[in-house]
């Protein structure tokens, strides 16, 4: 399950880099 979470995080990172949502996603 952790692998899936990490994989999704990487995909979100691309979008997060352009938006501030990254902080929210990383926090929880």
> Can you give the pLDDT at residue 22?
54
Q: What is the pTM of this model?
A: 0.36
Q: Which two tokens stand for residue 12?
A: 């979100």
Exposure string over 1-13, b if 16+ CB within 10 A, otherwise e = eeeeeeeeeeeee
Tens digits of residue pLDDT in 1-28: 788 888 888 877 776 566 665 565 555 4
């Amino acid at each position: 399950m952790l692998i899936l979470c990490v994989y999704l995080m990487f995909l979100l990172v691309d979008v997060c880099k352009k938006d501030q949502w990254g902080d929210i996603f990383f926090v929880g």
